[in-house]
Amino acid sequence: MKKNIYLFIALFYVLLPPLYAQATNKTLQVYADSHRYEKMADYNDAIKAIIPLYKTTPGDYFLNLRLGWLYYLKGKYGDSIAYYRRAVEINPQSVEALLGQSLPLLAQRNWGEVGRLMNHVIKKDYYNFYANLRLAIALRLQNKAFLAEKVDRRMLRLYPTSLDFMSELGRALKWQGKNKEARQVFRKILRLDPQNVTARDSLKIK
């Protein structure tokens, strides 16, 4: 009897590595297929490729994050938000999942919720580039351009040549009727990027 038990244990340890490797390779292939479809802009098949794996491991952070991204690309913003929220539930410390969730919210023009989420990120990571940029956009589009200006100026102290924050600052100033200051900002942008569409449009340069 003991001999049979030892034989079973020995076989288990012999077979376990190949089985684990096989499962790992299958998972990697699923991700590879999904990314291949994504590059082809075939978001339906990119999603279909990983759904069977998701059904077996719905608590997987990476799968939820990926589905959130793919549904965003597909334009299914409600589904995208749901998967990103699930990713946050799985890993409450994740900043990237919160940033991901802001993408479909931006697409929905839900500025209030974008602002709330980005403030949450900023509490974790005060100078997070994307959180501050998206907060500035959300504030400006809620007619809080004076607050957006503060965010833009704070970040431009760290990134003085950031075209993103310079453009947002120019917009925030223009929104407040500070046209002279706005023009100065847009002229600076053209020194860095002479063909910048936002700056040229604002300065009415053809």
pLDDT digits (tens, 9 = 90+) for 158-178: 999 999 999 999 999 999 999
Angle at 196 between CA 193 and CA 202, to 5 degrees: 125
Q: Is residue 103 part of a domain?
A: yes
- 40 domain-assigned: yes
Containing H/E element for 189?
Answer: helix 179-192
Res. 60: pLDDT tops 60 = yes
Is residue 122 a part of any domain in this protein? no
Binning pLDDT at 50, 70 and 90, where does residue 76 land?
Answer: very high
Task: Decide if 49 is inside a domain.
Answer: yes
Please indicate, yes or no, if residue 203 is contained in any of the structural domains. Answer: no
Rounded to two decimals, the pTM is 0.85
Q: Which residue has the tokens 């965010």?
A: 151
Share of the chain above pLDDT 70, in %: 87
Considering the domain boundaries, does residue 79 fall inside one?
Answer: yes
- pLDDT of 28: 86
DSSP symbols for 112-139? HHHHHHHHHHHHHSTT-HHHHHHHHHHH
Domain extent for 95:
15-108
In the 3-class helix/strand/coil scheme, how is 14-74 assigned residue by residue?
HHHHHHHHHHHHHHHHHHHHHHHHHHCCCHHHHHHHHHHHHHHCCCCHHHHHHHHHHHHHH
Task: Please compute the mean of the pLDDT values over residues 130-149 and round it to a whole number.
Answer: 98
Is residue 130 predicted with pLDDT exceeding 50?
Answer: yes
Band (21; pLDDT cuts 50, 70, 90): very low
Q: Determine, yes or no, domain membership for 71.
A: yes
pLDDT at 14 over 70: no
Kindly state whether residue 118 falls inside one of the protein's structural domains: no
* Residue 185: per-residue pLDDT: 97
* CATH number of the structural domain spanning residue 70: 1.25.40.10
Residue range 83-121, pLDDT digits in tens: 999 999 999 999 999 999 999 999 999 999 999 999 999
Nearest to 79 by CA among 96, 55, 104: 104
Count of the separate structural domains present in the chain: 1
Residue 30 confidence (pLDDT): 85
Q: What rounded mean pLDDT belongs to the chain? A: 91
